[in-house]
Amino acid sequence: MSAISTAEEAPVDMSPDSGINELHGLTPEEQERQRQEWQQELTMVEQEIQTLRQVLASKVKMSQELKRKLGISVWKEFQDDMSQGIRNVKESNVYQKTESVIKTTAEKTTSILGGFGSSVSTKLGQLKNSESFRSLEEKVGSAYENVKTKVVTSRSSSTQSFDEALREAEANRKANNGSVATPATTPTIPEDRPLS
């Protein structure tokens, strides 16, 4: 008959985080009183959390308004974040070690291949300095920035629209370059001598 009475009892959660250890040794009345105290405390903590959320939302809204008044846009913050990120990467040990290895490898390769290596380096330098390459580089950078702006939510949660940020970026690019970039074309690299 003890098996039947055990099956009829309510299951008890005996896990360490169930609170059963704190109630062990208390009378049923004391256990109920303790549960009520915990429930009241939980209710108070949840109310405090809700109040803090409301205060935080109010502060975020105030911050956004102040940034708007100061002319701090999402685009400006993104540019600052990207600049700082690039600086951090360039200052990192990994970047500097990689740069050193690449430089050393390039020097060794150039010395091994002699004139061929310097010719290739010259051609690559000419290609990199060509208007077409710069135009392509600018378009890739612009596309990356546009995608990043869409994907990454700025830490400011500013209310500036994506279209406004694009117009601002285009105006900055025109002001810096003095002209709009031309479409990318395949560069022509002059050869020193004809192929046989």
Sorted by where each begins, the domain ranges of the chain are 30-92
Query: What does the mean pLDDT of the chain come to?
Result: 74
Least trusted range by pLDDT, from 45-49, 138-142, 189-193: 189-193
Residue 187 · residue 130 · CB < 8 Å: yes
Closest CA to 124 of 189, 38, 53, 37: 189
Q: Where is pLDDT greater, at 21 or 184?
A: 21
- DSSP-assigned states of every residue in 2-34: HHHHHHHSPP---STTSSHHHHTT--HHHHHHH
Residue 119 makes CB contacts below 8 A (sequence gap 6+) with: 192
Of all residues in the chain, the percent with pLDDT exceeding 90 is 15
- 56-65 CB contacts, 8 Å cutoff, 24+ apart: 60/157, 63/156, 64/156, 64/157, 64/158, 64/159
pLDDT in tens, 161-188: 667 777 787 888 777 765 544 545 555 5
Average pLDDT over residues 8-19: 54
Q: Quick one: how far is CA 6 from the chain centroid? A: 56
d(CA 26, CA 34): 9
Least trusted range by pLDDT, from 1-5, 34-38, 103-107, 139-143: 1-5
Which tokens go with 124? 């690559």
